[in-house]
């Protein structure tokens, strides 16, 4: 149940509808995004099946912020943890059906656009420059928003980051999970 919400629901059409919910700037933004070709298909970064180079930068910045103090502690002991999390998120996205992938693509593309970040996320720094407090404030803003689409975006990002992180045995200590019962592991893998 923690696996990511695929469609964050941010279709361009829904974005235009946001205008009627109260934020005219968002409607303009949706149109501009489409006119400026912002939803051009992004090509996957080297070593990835779905995530683009920009997505990777964004998720690398969000992983510690979405998962909190357990992340830094686990990452300090396991240098590969962050890259494994990215690979796992990529594997999840790559296995979604095309309709869900299309929604996710739109969300990621919009998040990669600084004008969108300034208007909708409350910051315009690049993902790799933004301070953790800034990113926390962004996640909190989308969580508290009265606009369902932002709530959906929040959930999608937090769930992807959570699935990439908490699925790793390196985090078991932080989740009090002893792993599968030792007797069964040894009996079955003998």
Partner 1 sequence: MAINDLYTDGIGGGWNVRDASTLTQDEVLEADVVIVGSGAGGGTAAEILTAAGLDVLMLEEGALYTSADFKDMDEFRGYTTLYQEASARTTSDGAVSIFQGRAVGGTTVVNWTTSLRTPDNTLAHWREVYGVRDIESEQMAPWFERMEQRLGIEPWAMAPNRNNDLLRAGCEKLGVHWKVIPRNVRGCWNLGYCGLGCPVNAKQSMLVTTIPSALGQGMRLLHHARAQRLQFKGDQVSELTVQALDAQALRPTGVTLRVRARHFVLAGGAINTPALLLRSNAPDPRQRIGQRTCIHPVNGTVARFDDAVNGFHGAPQSIYSDEFLWPDSGVGYKLEVPPLQPMLSSGLFGSFGDALSRDMATLDHAQVNIALMRDGFHADSSGGQVRIDDNGAPVLDYDFSDYLWDGLRRAYLSMAEIQFAAGARMVRPAHLDGRDYSSWKEAREAIAALPMQKQRASLYSAHLMGGCLMGEDRQTAVVDSYGRFHEAGNLSVIDGSVFPTSIGANPQLSIYAFSARNASKLAESLRTA
Beta bridge partners, 137, equal none
- Contact assessment for residue 185 and residue 179, using Cβ atoms and an 8 Å cutoff: yes
Secondary structure of residue 167 in the 3-state scheme: coil
106: CB partners within 8 A, 6+ apart: 8, 10, 11, 12, 39
- For partner 1, which residue of 51, 110, 111, 139 counts as binding (CB under 8 A)? 139
114 or 167: whose CB is closer to partner 1? 167
Contact string 150-179 vs partner 1 (x = CB under 8 A): -xx-xxx-xx--xx-xxxx--xx-xxxxx-
The CB-of-51 to partner 1 minimum distance in angstroms stands at 14
Report if residue 59 touches partner 1, rule: CB under 8 A.
Answer: no
Encoded tokens for 37: 């070709």
Encoded tokens for 81: 């943890």
The CB-of-185 to partner 1 minimum distance in angstroms stands at 7
Report if residue 68 touches partner 1, rule: CB under 8 A.
Answer: yes
CA distance 170 to 165: 9
CA distance 61 to 127: 6
The CB-of-179 to partner 1 minimum distance in angstroms stands at 8
Report if residue 35 touches partner 1, rule: CB under 8 A.
Answer: no
- For partner 1, which residue of 7, 30, 82, 112 counts as binding (CB under 8 A)? 7
122: CB partners within 8 A, 6+ apart: 134, 137, 138, 141
CA distance 23 to 119: 10
- For partner 1, which residue of 91, 115, 119, 170 counts as binding (CB under 8 A)? 91
> Site size for partner 1, by CB under 8 A?
61
Report if residue 190 touches partner 1, rule: CB under 8 A.
Answer: yes
Number of neighbours of residue 59 by Cβ within 10 angstroms: 23
Report if residue 2 touches partner 1, rule: CB under 8 A.
Answer: yes
Give the residues lining the site for partner 1 (CB under 8 A): 1-9, 65-71, 88, 91-100, 103, 136, 139, 143, 148-149, 151-152, 154-156, 158-159, 162-163, 165-168, 171-172, 174-178, 180-181, 184-185, 187-190
């Amino acid at each position: 149940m923690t696996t990511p919400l695929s469609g964050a629901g941010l279709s361009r059409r829904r974005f235009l509808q946001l205008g009627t919910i109260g934020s005219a700037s968002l409607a303009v933004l949706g149109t501009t995004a489409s006119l400026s070709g912002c939803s051009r298909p992004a090509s996957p970064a080297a070593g990835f099946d779905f995530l683009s180079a920009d997505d990777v930068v964004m998720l690398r910045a969000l992983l510690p912020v979405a998962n909190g103090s357990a992340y830094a502690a686990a990452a300090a002991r396991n240098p590969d943890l962050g890259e494994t999390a990215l690979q796992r998120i990529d594997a999840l996205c790559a296995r979604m059906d095309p309709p869900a992938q299309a929604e996710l693509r739109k969300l990621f593309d919009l998040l990669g656009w600084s004008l969108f970040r300034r208007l909708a996320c409350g910051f315009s720094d690049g993902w790799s420059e933004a301070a953790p407090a800034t990113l926390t404030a962004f996640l909190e803003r989308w969580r508290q928003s009265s606009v369902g689409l932002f709530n959906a975006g929040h959930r999608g990002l937090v769930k992807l980051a959570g699935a990439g992180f908490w699925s790793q045995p390196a985090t078991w200590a932080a989740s009090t999970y002893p792993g599968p019962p030792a007797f069964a592991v040894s009996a079955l893998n003998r």
